Structure 1
Amino acid sequence: MPLGTLDRTPPPFFRQGTPALTKLVLCSALAVFLMAADNRLKLTQPLRAAVATALLPVQRSLMVPVNLSYTGIDYLRGLQRAISAENSVRRLMASQAERAARGDQLALENTRLRALLDLRPALQVKSISAEVMYEAADPYSRKAYIDRGATHGIVLGAPVINEAGVLGQVTRVFPLNSMVTLLTDKDAAIPVLNARSQQRSAAFGGAAGGLLELRFMAGNADVQVGDKLVTSGVDGVYPAGLAVAQISRIDRKVDSGFAHILLAPAAAIDGVRHVLVLEPLSVQLPPPPEPAPTPAKPSHRTKAGAKPSASGAAP
């Protein structure tokens, strides 16, 4: 083979075109130009919108199985929660029905026992709904004003309660509003009954931290933390059985004959908006009997020289 016919060109693998550095510079410049054009001139926005519009059906079709799986899982979870809630509500309704039946039975039994013992029927307490307008600005007292007064039937000394328990007592009555002294006031006091031990005592306001204080209790009294105190009903103001407070702390001091007992109010004093004003029990109770007249004592004085008779009177 003659030497002139040989192909002396390098193979394609060793062929070199544009230098790599030049390509890098050109691609970088093109990328910077496209970014500036897209950011400043918005040149690629129509292209991007057209591509997004074209790919939207494909994207939605691909998301259908994912959405179905999520929807199915949420449906099964919601169904399970609904079944659990229904079962709990059914149990609660069954227990409430049992309590209602038991309460009706106890009320009937109470009526029969009162008739058997010839006692007066239980007092029916009347109530008036009211709304708290504002609290007194005095920082050293706890008083609130309600939008019901003498024209609405509010009387002095009426108990004020809400759904949780006793809040206080009406201490001043105006024609269109009334002032309520709350249980936490320093001048407030209420007779209470320990629901566990059936021991009577008196709770006073004014303790630190918005608490009540159970005073005049012996150091060895049968009281425990967590005992619930209710109204005793013997004061002629509060109906019996209303929740008042719960014992939160007991300090039995050796050097003192009384225990220091703090109570947490059953009804939240702060943030109360709607209340019920009850009629005092003294309005329905019969008046106290008048004291019998004391008989006149016989006179032991006699006239001078006269002798007393056998009955002790002068002749």
Structure 2
Amino acid sequence: MPRALEHQHHTGFFVRGPSPTTRLFITALLSLILIATDARLHYLVEVRQGFIALLHPLQVLANAPLELVEDTGEYLHTQTTLVHDNLQLRDQALVHAAELQRANALEAENERLRKLLGAARVSHQPARLAEILHMGRDPFSHKVVVNLGSRQDISPGQAVIDEVGVIGQVTRVFPYSSEVTLVTDKDLSVPVQVERNGLRAIAFGRGREATIELPSLPANVDVLVGDRLVTSGIDGVYPTGLAVAEVVQVDTNPNSPFAHIICKPLAGIENHKQLLLVSIPKTETPADTNTLSTPPRNKKFTVPKRHANH
């Protein structure tokens, strides 16, 4: 039979090894020596950098799952935020676009009101700002209805102007509104004069053609295309010097003693919503020259009729 294996005994000095206290002391001593040596001589800098370089891939691999989770969460949060912000910006863009349109309209209206106030200052007669409510019901007449009436001291015969010139005249007054006949209406006439030479005439509207003509002027009259017509002021209604129209056509016929003169209104006859109603000038009474009075409010206003030949 084979011989049983005998237990081999080692005769080394440290058979059971050093005690834990001895190991701790030796390790601490070596650590202090290495720390002192590295601090004084910097022998372990390259070794430390090498270990860091070797361990870097392991650090990246260990941090990869956490970074993946964080990046995914940030991406989803960013996408949600972008979609929400995009919808909110679109809504704000629509609101701002509407506000911009209203702002542009208000700016244009304010500019026009400033011009109207400038026209009121130019006119030496008191003026009231009125707004057009609607057009007249008759399609063959050129009339508008404004938001001032007898309760606001509006009376028939008042001139109506804008920042450029004459619009028309108040022909009918109601308690809270008034009817304004435009200068292009065939039943309205305006005393005018040619700005270039002071020639006086009466301008009549031509109805649906939205123009003005000067009837009953001789064929050799000194009126040229491009001449401006302004109010003469001899009727006591329109302030003197307000622009009325510009001559666009002058025709003469050998068989007619009169010239055919067509003019285009200068004021915004069919534009805008605000007008100025100019008060009728006050006149002195025979009994007392220091007392001023206005024409009777209930007196019916009539407009001059067109010449029979025209």
| TM-score (structure 1 length as normaliser) | 0.51
What is the rounded CA distance, in whole Å, between the counterparts of 2:271 and 2:201 in structure 1?
Answer: 28
Show the counterpart of 2:220: 220
1:127 and 2:136 matched:
no
- 1:266-285 equivalences under 5 Å are 266-281=266-281, 284-285=282-283
For residue 236 of structure 1, report the CA deviation from its aligned partner.
1.1
Alpha-carbon deviations, 1:22-67, whole Å to 9, x = none?
xxxxxxxxxxxxxxxxxxxxxxxxxxxxxxxxxxxxxxxxxxxxxx
1:188 and 2:188 matched:
yes
For residue 187 of structure 2, give the secondary structure of its aligned residue in structure 1: coil
What is the rounded CA distance, in whole Å, between the counterparts of 2:251 and 2:188 in structure 1?
Answer: 22
What is the rounded CA distance, in whole Å, between the counterparts of 1:124 and 1:273 in structure 2?
Answer: 23
For residue 288 of structure 1, report the CA deviation from its aligned partner.
6.7
Q: Which has the higher contact order (CA 8 A, sep 6+)?
A: 2
Larger Rg: 2
Query: Which AA in structure 2 matches 1:183?
Result: V
Query: Which AA in structure 1 matches 2:234?
Result: V
Show the counterpart of 1:259: 259
For residue 179 of structure 1, give the secondary structure of its aligned residue in structure 2: strand
Show the counterpart of 1:161: 161
Structure 2 residue runs of 5 or longer lacking an equivalent are 1-122, 288-310
What is the rounded CA distance, in whole Å, between the counterparts of 2:208 and 2:124 in structure 1?
Answer: 36
Show the counterpart of 1:210: 210
What is the rounded CA distance, in whole Å, between the counterparts of 1:193 and 1:288 in structure 2?
Answer: 30
Query: Which AA in structure 1 matches 2:177?
Result: N
Query: Which AA in structure 2 matches 1:285?
Result: T
For residue 271 of structure 2, give the secondary structure of its aligned residue in structure 1: coil
Change (3 A) 1:208 1:152: closer
- 1:43-122 equivalences under 5 Å are none
What is the rounded CA distance, in whole Å, between the counterparts of 2:221 and 2:139 in structure 1?
Answer: 34
Show the counterpart of 1:141: 141
Alpha-carbon deviations, 1:212-254, whole Å to 9, x = none?
0111111000000000000000101111011100100010111
After TM superposition, where is structure 1 displaced by more than 3 Å over at least 4 residues in a row? Answer: none
Change (3 A) 1:288 1:224: farther
Alpha-carbon deviations, 1:180-214, whole Å to 9, x = none?
01111110100001100101000001255210011
1:286 and 2:262 matched:
no
Superposition RMSD on alpha carbons, in Å?
Answer: 2.0
CA contact (8 A) 1:160 1:166 kept: yes
Show the counterpart of 1:293: none
What is the rounded CA distance, in whole Å, between the counterparts of 2:134 and 2:157 in structure 1?
Answer: 19
- 1:231-250 equivalences under 5 Å are 231-250=231-250
For residue 272 of structure 1, report the CA deviation from its aligned partner.
2.6
Query: Which AA in structure 2 matches 1:216?
Result: S
CA contact (8 A) 1:207 1:213 kept: no
Query: Which AA in structure 2 matches 1:238?
Result: Y
Change (3 A) 1:167 1:140: same
For residue 248 of structure 1, give the secondary structure of its aligned residue in structure 2: strand
What is the rounded CA distance, in whole Å, between the counterparts of 2:230 and 2:199 in structure 1?
Answer: 11
Alpha-carbon deviations, 1:253-272, whole Å to 9, x = none?
11100000000001121123
What is the rounded CA distance, in whole Å, between the counterparts of 1:287 and 1:241 in structure 2?
Answer: 26
Show the counterpart of 1:170: 170
| TM-score (structure 2 length as normaliser) | 0.52
Change (3 A) 1:223 1:178: same
What is the rounded CA distance, in whole Å, between the counterparts of 1:135 and 1:243 in structure 2?
Answer: 23
Query: Which AA in structure 2 matches 1:181?
Result: T
Show the counterpart of 1:42: none
What is the rounded CA distance, in whole Å, between the counterparts of 1:198 and 1:143 in structure 2?
Answer: 29
For residue 214 of structure 2, give the secondary structure of its aligned residue in structure 1: strand
What is the rounded CA distance, in whole Å, between the counterparts of 1:132 and 1:221 in structure 2?
Answer: 38
Query: Which AA in structure 2 matches 1:286?
Result: E
For residue 235 of structure 1, give the secondary structure of its aligned residue in structure 2: coil
For residue 151 of structure 2, give the secondary structure of its aligned residue in structure 1: helix
For residue 257 of structure 2, give the secondary structure of its aligned residue in structure 1: coil
Change (3 A) 1:278 1:248: same
For residue 274 of structure 1, report the CA deviation from its aligned partner.
0.4
Change (3 A) 1:213 1:286: same
